[in-house]
Amino acid sequence: MAGGSGTRFWPWSRGSHPKQLLPLCTTASMLADTVHRVSRLVPPKNVVVVTGEALRRTVLRDLPQLGRDQVLCEPVGRNTAPCIAWAAVEIARRAPDGVMVVLPADHVVTPIERFLDDLRVALAAADEERCLVTLGIRPTRPETGYGYLRGGGRLSARWPGKSLRRVAAFHEKPTESRARRFLRAGGYFWNSGMFAWRCDTILEEITLHLPELAAAIRSLETRRVRGRIPRSALSTAYPRFPSISIDHGVMEKSARVAMVPARFTWNDIGSWDAVGAIWPKDAADNASRDPLVAIDARGNVVATRGKPVALLGVSGLAVVDGGDAILVCPRERAQDVRMVVAALKGAGLGRLL
Amino acid sequence: MAGGSGTRFWPWSRGSHPKQLLPLCTTASMLADTVHRVSRLVPPKNVVVVTGEALRRTVLRDLPQLGRDQVLCEPVGRNTAPCIAWAAVEIARRAPDGVMVVLPADHVVTPIERFLDDLRVALAAADEERCLVTLGIRPTRPETGYGYLRGGGRLSARWPGKSLRRVAAFHEKPTESRARRFLRAGGYFWNSGMFAWRCDTILEEITLHLPELAAAIRSLETRRVRGRIPRSALSTAYPRFPSISIDHGVMEKSARVAMVPARFTWNDIGSWDAVGAIWPKDAADNASRDPLVAIDARGNVVATRGKPVALLGVSGLAVVDGGDAILVCPRERAQDVRMVVAALKGAGLGRLL
């Protein structure tokens, strides 16, 4: 899943270069990192990327190992359920018994070995138990930006220890006090948005819980010409798809949900602040991959694409140079970069978006 | 006087581009502004610029209206007394009865009309009274970075009101408590470093109070070839000149000192903080000449040579882009940019200096 046009990484992120296409984790894009990360389990020829029509060329340039048929371009974004339904149909055409793993293209996961181990369990469980497997992340803070899962008992005796569990309950993004209760209680997990299931399983469950979407997808299937759905058919049909997440639309209603508690470290780096957690730091906790001189400066994040920066007497700032524009804000305000994007439009600086 | 290699305007200022060659006040350099400002009293053909050998080409490019003979290049800096002595000799050769005005090339003065009026008084007094006239600035804060003058009585009945006064005393850079006393007492002025005198007067006073320098200059005079002192002679002689300011060396000792109390506004903009006082400000007191989006941001100074900047939730910062490097510091730490310059050398980033 490489749609979305995040604005929180301005001035790096632009309409034509959203977060998943930025080199926020390594020197490659997050999308390329995601494809590379699973390549031992999912060879590139088996990868399907769903993105926006506007990003088709950029994605193909970013992933030269992928064929044009492997990049599905939504004419408009309709949240994750339509995206996953379409991908499931496409993958099922190529591999009717296929098991698919769904990965957002903008997450950071380490170490890769543990991630692949967990994914192996998820794929095997999805295939053998015909269930919808979600990867649950052990929460490290009372985050209010994610949904939570409450872990249940073992799914069956076939799965050793607690490697595969039932999901006792889904909880939408909680208030901070509720999130604190979750943390204290234990047994709660973040809903990471990473899933594994057989294509036929998810399509069955979509038919059950989102019949309107299932019908729309089936109708679109009748429009294929030489195996492909023409853009014109997509442009007409897609805007009418229900805009709903796979969590709300399917996972919260399905009786076939299971969870693999992740043993890897996960970060969805939602802002420049979060980038500070994954980049190299100097002795004063300044996170940067650029030449940095820091004097009486502590806990800053610097992202200037190689341009040297001097910080003197400042703490907890994010300093970002996007080449044609600069952002300076406290790390704790990094979520509000959306406000900057709105203000730029108002100031006639829309060319910077 | 356009020597000096200030480091406080890094990353704009560089070895090859010190403060006086930066467009800090207008879109022209401070040096060009200075020449332009006095052009109604001192036509460009009468201007002599003293600078460092390393800046010769840059100065000539900056002031295309000046001939090569009008730019005197010191092989090494030796404070203001040698610089002024050499300039006085050169001007006296061209105009034996000449009256000269000495202006640092890196000050901001407004409004020009009042400045020129005060300068007219200073030039007339220098010519008619054969005195050393200094322009005294009424202090607006207990600044500890300047020397102070205490104003005395009228020099003679010929000068109306208090337009020309004696100087009762010179005071070196004071402590803050002493500076406060000066302000409370009244009658004290900042020593601006702007002077007017006849060439013969200042050379007489240099002979009297700095005989060693006078002798060295006389000896250099014997080396002229076709009217010019060869670079080789300068390179040998100049390093041996005493390094002393005209204030310490002459003004504080001379019996012929007078003062014109300035009626103009003066700013020697010694740092990025001071630039904030002269640049246009938005409603939240953010000073910038560049496209600026400021959200919950107050009292910042932004200098990015045209690059758009977004400030979110920050106050009192200086944000400077020099093209190949960025500085972020609180305005109140702007004086400490020297520390950054030292640290850059240590970090192997000397190419940015």
Query: Does residue A10 lie in a domain region?
Result: no
Of B308, B319, B349, Cβ closest to residue A328: B319
pLDDT tens digits, residue range B175-209? 999 999 999 999 999 999 999 999 999 999 999 99
Domain shared by B76 and B150, yes or no: yes
Query: Does residue A9 lie in a domain region?
Result: no
Q: Cβ neighbours of residue B226 under 8 Å, at least 6 residues apart?
A: none
Query: Does residue B40 lie in a domain region?
Result: yes
Burial of A222 (0-12, 13-18, 19+ CB in 10 A): exposed
Q: How confident is residue B326, by pLDDT bands cut at 50, 70 and 90?
A: very high
Q: What is the mean pLDDT of residues A242-250?
A: 96
Query: Is A263 in contact with A113 (CB distance < 8 Å)?
Result: no
Domain shared by B56 and B124, yes or no: yes
Residue A164, SS3 per DSSP: coil
Do A312 and B295 lie within an 8 Å CB cutoff?
no
Counting one residue from A and one from B, how many pairs have CB atoms under 8 Å apart? 122
Q: Running DSSP on this structure, what letter comes out for residue A324?
A: S
Residue B311's closest CA among B295, B288, B332? B295
Q: What is the mean pLDDT of residues B113-142?
A: 96
Model confidence, pTM: 0.90
Min Cα distance A61 → chain B (Å) is 29
Query: Is A55 in contact with A18 (CB distance < 8 Å)?
Result: yes
Please report the pLDDT score of residue B70 as a whole number.
Answer: 97
Domain shared by B116 and B80, yes or no: yes
Structural domain for B321, as ranges:
272-352
Domain shared by B278 and B261, yes or no: no
Domain shared by A47 and A172, yes or no: yes
Of B295, B304, B349, Cβ closest to residue A326: B304
Query: Does residue A2 lie in a domain region?
Result: no
Choose the final residue of a domain: B267, B284, B299.
B267
What are the backbone angles phi and psi of residue B287, rounded to the nearest 5°?
A: -95, 125
Domain shared by A222 and A334, yes or no: no
Q: What is the mean pLDDT of residues A96-100?
A: 96
Residue B7, SS3 per DSSP: coil
Which residues on adjacent β-strands are paired with residue A109? Answer: A266
What are the backbone angles phi and psi of residue B204, rounded to the nearest 5°?
A: -60, -45
**Whole-angstrom Cα distance, residue B336 to residue A61?**
46
Of B296, B313, B326, Cβ closest to residue A309: B326
Please report the pLDDT score of residue B5 as a whole number.
Answer: 77
Domain shared by A281 and A136, yes or no: no
CATH classification at residue B217: 3.90.550.10
Say if residue A330 is preceded by a cis peptide, omega within 30 of 0. Answer: no
**Whole-angstrom Cα distance, residue B154 to residue B152?**
7
Of A291, A310, A325, Cβ closest to residue B340: A310
Domain shared by A55 and A171, yes or no: yes
Domain shared by A54 and A23, yes or no: yes
Query: Does residue A13 lie in a domain region?
Result: no
The ipTM is: 0.90
Choose the final residue of a domain: B214, B241, B267.
B267
Q: How confident is residue B14, by pLDDT bands cut at 50, 70 and 90?
A: very high
The DSSP H or E segment spanning A203 is helix A199-209
Do B310 and A327 lie within an 8 Å CB cutoff?
yes
Query: Is A309 in contact with B10 (CB distance < 8 Å)?
Result: no
Long-range (24+ apart) CB contacts under 8 A made by B288-292 are: B291/A347, B291/A349
Residue A316, SS3 per DSSP: coil
Please report the pLDDT score of residue B30 as a whole number.
Answer: 97
Mean pLDDT of chain B: 95
Query: Does residue B241 lie in a domain region?
Result: yes
Chain B contact set for A295 (CB, 8 A): 336, 339-340, 343
Query: Does residue A6 lie in a domain region?
Result: no
Choose the final residue of a domain: B252, B267, B282.
B267
Min Cα distance B302 → chain A (Å) is 10
Please report the pLDDT score of residue A7 as a whole number.
Answer: 83
Query: Does residue B2 lie in a domain region?
Result: no
Which residues on adjacent β-strands are paired with residue A149? Answer: A170, A189
Domain shared by B140 and B232, yes or no: yes
Tokens of A153: 């008992």
Please report the pLDDT score of residue B134 as a whole number.
Answer: 97
Tokens of A120: 């192996």
Do B336 and A311 lie within an 8 Å CB cutoff?
no
Burial of A92 (0-12, 13-18, 19+ CB in 10 A): middle
Query: Is B72 in contact with B87 (CB distance < 8 Å)?
Result: yes
Residues of B with CB under 8 A from a CB of A: 10-11, 291, 293, 295-296, 304, 307-314, 317, 319, 321, 324-330, 333, 336-337, 339-340, 343-344, 347, 349, 352
Chain A contact set for B352 (CB, 8 A): 308
Domain shared by B137 and B230, yes or no: yes
Q: Running DSSP on this structure, what letter comes out for residue B248?
A: I
**Whole-angstrom Cα distance, residue A251 to residue A245?**
9
State the total domains in chain A: 2
Q: Cβ neighbours of residue B4 under 8 Å, at least 6 residues apart?
A: B18, B19, B20, B52, B77, B106
Please report the pLDDT score of residue B304 as a whole number.
Answer: 97
Domain shared by B260 and B286, yes or no: no
